[in-house]
Chain A
Amino acid sequence: MRLDIRWPIGGLFTITGALLVIYGLVSDPAIYEKSLGINVNLWWGVVLLVFGLAMLVLAFQSRSQA
């Protein structure tokens, strides 16, 4: 069976997003001075996580249909 490209994309961004969220929660707030005081690791991590999971869900759905 051909591998659906959404699996690796989903996997990559889910893992990256999760790591960024964790790092955003534990990192020293001082490093966010350069990003205008916004904890971009946490917030963008959430965005990536949602995107990654959405890809995985779509890939899973099309597999169960097939």
Chain B
Amino acid sequence: MLGIGWALRRVIKSSDDFFLSGRSIPAWIAGLAFISANLGAQEVIGMGASGAKYGIMTSHFYWVGAMPAMVFVGLFMMPFYYGSRARSVPEYLKLRFDEKTRGLNAITFAIMTVFSSGISMYALAKLLELVLGWSFHGSIILTGVIVLIYIFLGGLTSAIYNEVLQFFLIVLGFLPLVLLGLKDVGGWSGLTAKLSVVATNAGFQPGAWTHSWKYMDSPTHNPMGIEWFGLVMGLGFAMSFGYWCTDFLVVQRAMAAGSMTAARRTPLIAAVPKMFMPLLVILPGMLAIGMHATRGGFLPIGADGQPNYNLAIPMLLAHYLPTGLLGLGLTALMASFMSGMAGNVTAFNTVWTYDIYQTFIKPGQSDSHYLRMGHAATVFGILASVVAAYAATRFNNINDILQLVFSFVNGPLFATFLLGMFWRRTTGHAAFVGLLAGTFTAALHYGLTIPHGATPGIHGGFLGATLHTYPSEMALNFWTALFAWTSCFVTTLVISLFTKRTKTDEELRGLVYSLTPRIQEGAMPWYKRPVTLAVGILVVSAILNVIFW
């Protein structure tokens, strides 16, 4: 079964004269590529782990975080990205501000991709260890070698194409798991009963794992350790908007669309299936923790005495699926790990070679020189990923470390984008210093606070003095993002007022809201307009929030 999956992927990869600019293919396919770029191992394993660790509150990543942010990208950000003809987010920053802002963003982005691919690598190695009984170290090395070969063979030439296929593989590979699990525990009511045991064991109200808003009046009342303000502002605003609006890997998918309207519709169409992803990725985590608590020791216990939440979905796969269907589930998982890692490493090498090396270190070399550099960067990117993979072993939920990285990078960047796109007075110096200040604030906040029960070091609090203890890693991430966003926003605003503009209105045409001509939608039936779609998405998200209140 595994072999068939791989063989077919090979065949598909070798025919590269296809693309989905939306002309021969329905528009929903482009949208699927958009969410698939984000539906990697991190999403599947990480959201499953969070479902186990934090319960239904994990759905806030979708219904409070992703939905409004994706709507915002589609309606307001896409016109600038698409209209500016920039090929990457760092390139937009160069056009809007200057080279140094671009360079800074390129560096932080490069670090982020290394972490992301390292986390995928960790998850895959863990899976191989669990299913095939290989050693973790051996699995890491093997994974690195496979990804290297995959990239050198040009495995990403048809990235978007593979992503759509992968989307269906993951959905169709995981759905039977969720259905079997739900049937086994006796439906939603059976699951609620099991999770009330989990909640009371942890010292919370019985419904703490199955209500998304009810216990958010105080950080001590819910497993995520956050109150509504920190969640809405930290996750909903700073982090989610930061991620969906500025993450190059994701935004690039929409930039590839055939027209401005198609580019704007891409994130909106993507939001529709995204809305129902919690069913597929969070629910299995909740099932796993429910069984862990009531049937005894379902999840292996890690060195810190906590269950290893990352294994929630792999354990569930092994538990319910017989030979045959198990192969399909594993193929889906592996495919997402591989392409997730390869996507990040490739993005790393692009950004390093073009946005850093060519711009700052050695401009004006021959193409073959840069190509060699690109290969070297790939090898380096994979080695760095291995280091990141070992860092990930220290977290019992990979989503915690992933969101930590996002809080450092995307939080401040979103403030820069907001000011840059909507205020023409924002200057290059201000953007640069603001970004630095934001990242520095994130590091400072992370260094001075610590999640409950952790020892100072990789989990925070490494600056010695601990000013505040958060109830959970995730709460610390949300606040880190919010502090980083605020400091970047204020710094950029103040410095802009004191520095001279370097770009004229003419140069900023198409890059700043007030200097960009309003888009003419043309004659389009009302139900096809981006705005209609956006309103529909927000209404359904609101309903989902109410259902799982």
**Is A56's CB within 8 Å of the partner chain B?**
no
B324 touches A41 (CB 8 A): yes
B176 touches A12 (CB 8 A): no
Taking CB as reference atom, which chain A residue is nearest B32? A5
A7–B1 alpha-carbon span in the complex (Å): 20
Residues of B near A40 (CB, < 8 A) are 176, 180, 321-322, 324-325
**Is A38's CB within 8 Å of the partner chain B?**
yes
Given A12-B8, A36-B180, A51-B172: A44 in contact with B325 (beta carbons within 8 A): yes
Taking CB as reference atom, which chain A residue is nearest B33? A5
Given A4-B25, A16-B4: A32 in contact with B322 (beta carbons within 8 A): yes
Residues of B near A3 (CB, < 8 A) are 15, 17-18
A32–B320 alpha-carbon span in the complex (Å): 9
Residues of A near B12 (CB, < 8 A) are 8
Q: How far is the CB of B9 from chain A (nearest CB, A)?
A: 9
Q: Which residues of B195-252 have CB atoms within 8 Å of chain A's CB atoms?
A: none
Taking CB as reference atom, which chain A residue is nearest B23? A2
**Is A53's CB within 8 Å of the partner chain B?**
no
A27 touches B324 (CB 8 A): yes
Which segment, of B160-168, B300-308, B348-356, B371-379, faces chain A?
B160-168
Q: Which residues of A1-50 have CB atoms within 8 Å of chain B's CB atoms?
A: 2-6, 8-9, 11-13, 15-16, 19-20, 23-24, 27, 31-32, 34-36, 38, 40-41, 44, 47-48
Q: Which residues of B1-32 have CB atoms within 8 Å of chain A's CB atoms?
A: 1, 4-5, 8, 11-12, 15, 17-20, 24-25, 29
Chain B contact residues: over half helix, strand or loop, or mixed? helix
A3–B325 alpha-carbon span in the complex (Å): 29
A20 touches B18 (CB 8 A): no
A35 touches B165 (CB 8 A): no
Q: How far is the CB of A4 from chain B (nearest CB, A)?
A: 6
Q: How far is the CB of A45 from chain B (nearest CB, A)?
A: 8
A30–B386 alpha-carbon span in the complex (Å): 41
Given A5-B164, A9-B164, A19-B1: A35 in contact with B322 (beta carbons within 8 A): yes
A13 touches B172 (CB 8 A): yes
Q: How far is the CB of B540 from chain A (nearest CB, A)?
A: 24
Q: How far is the CB of B148 from chain A (nearest CB, A)?
A: 26
Pick from B11, B20, B325: contact of A5, CB below 8 A.
Answer: B20
Q: How far is the CB of B452 from chain A (nearest CB, A)?
A: 37
Q: How far is the CB of B198 from chain A (nearest CB, A)?
A: 22
Interface mask (B23-56 → A, CB under 8 Å = 1, otherwise 0): 0110001000000000000000000000000000
Pick from B1, B18, B180, B322: contact of A2, CB below 8 A.
Answer: B18
Residues of B near A13 (CB, < 8 A) are 168, 172
A44 touches B176 (CB 8 A): yes
Q: How far is the CB of A49 from chain B (nearest CB, A)?
A: 11
A9 touches B324 (CB 8 A): no
A3–B24 alpha-carbon span in the complex (Å): 9
A10–B328 alpha-carbon span in the complex (Å): 15
Q: How far is the CB of A5 from chain B (nearest CB, A)?
A: 6
Residues of A near B19 (CB, < 8 A) are 2
Q: Which residues of A49-66 have CB atoms within 8 Å of chain B's CB atoms?
A: 51, 62, 66
Chain A contact residues: over half helix, strand or loop, or mixed? helix
**Is B365's CB within 8 Å of the partner chain A?**
no
B325 touches A9 (CB 8 A): no
**Is B319's CB within 8 Å of the partner chain A?**
yes
Given A3-B17, A20-B324, A41-B325: A35 in contact with B4 (beta carbons within 8 A): no
Taking CB as reference atom, which chain A residue is nearest B18? A3
A51–B165 alpha-carbon span in the complex (Å): 13
Residues of A near B18 (CB, < 8 A) are 2-5
A48 touches B172 (CB 8 A): yes
**Is B184's CB within 8 Å of the partner chain A?**
yes
Given A2-B24, A5-B161, A20-B328: A35 in contact with B1 (beta carbons within 8 A): no
A52–B110 alpha-carbon span in the complex (Å): 39
A14–B32 alpha-carbon span in the complex (Å): 20
Taking CB as reference atom, which chain A residue is nearest B15? A3
Q: How far is the CB of A35 from chain B (nearest CB, A)?
A: 5
A12–B335 alpha-carbon span in the complex (Å): 14
Residues of B near A4 (CB, < 8 A) are 18, 24-25
Q: How far is the CB of B167 from chain A (nearest CB, A)?
A: 9
A57–B259 alpha-carbon span in the complex (Å): 28
A35 touches B321 (CB 8 A): yes
Residues of B near A48 (CB, < 8 A) are 172
A35–B321 alpha-carbon span in the complex (Å): 6
Interface mask (B258-299 → A, CB under 8 Å = 1, otherwise 0): 000000000000000000000000000000000000000000
B328 touches A16 (CB 8 A): yes
B322 touches A34 (CB 8 A): yes
A40–B20 alpha-carbon span in the complex (Å): 34
Q: How far is the CB of B205 from chain A (nearest CB, A)?
A: 31
Residues of A near B323 (CB, < 8 A) are 27, 31
List residues of A whose CB falls within 8 A of some B CB: 2-6, 8-9, 11-13, 15-16, 19-20, 23-24, 27, 31-32, 34-36, 38, 40-41, 44, 47-48, 51, 62, 66
Q: What are 20 of the A-B contact pairs (CB < 8 Å)? A: A2-B24, A3-B18, A4-B25, A5-B164, A12-B5, A16-B4, A19-B4, A23-B324, A24-B324, A32-B322, A34-B321, A35-B180, A35-B321, A36-B180, A36-B184, A36-B320, A40-B176, A40-B180, A47-B172, A51-B172
Listed from nearest, the 4 A-B pairs whose CB atoms lie closest are A3-B18, A41-B324, A31-B322, A23-B324
Known: A8-B8, A23-B324. 20 other contacts (CB 8 A): A2-B19, A3-B17, A3-B18, A4-B18, A4-B24, A4-B25, A5-B25, A5-B164, A5-B165, A9-B168, A12-B5, A15-B8, A20-B324, A34-B319, A35-B321, A36-B184, A40-B176, A40-B180, A40-B322, A41-B325
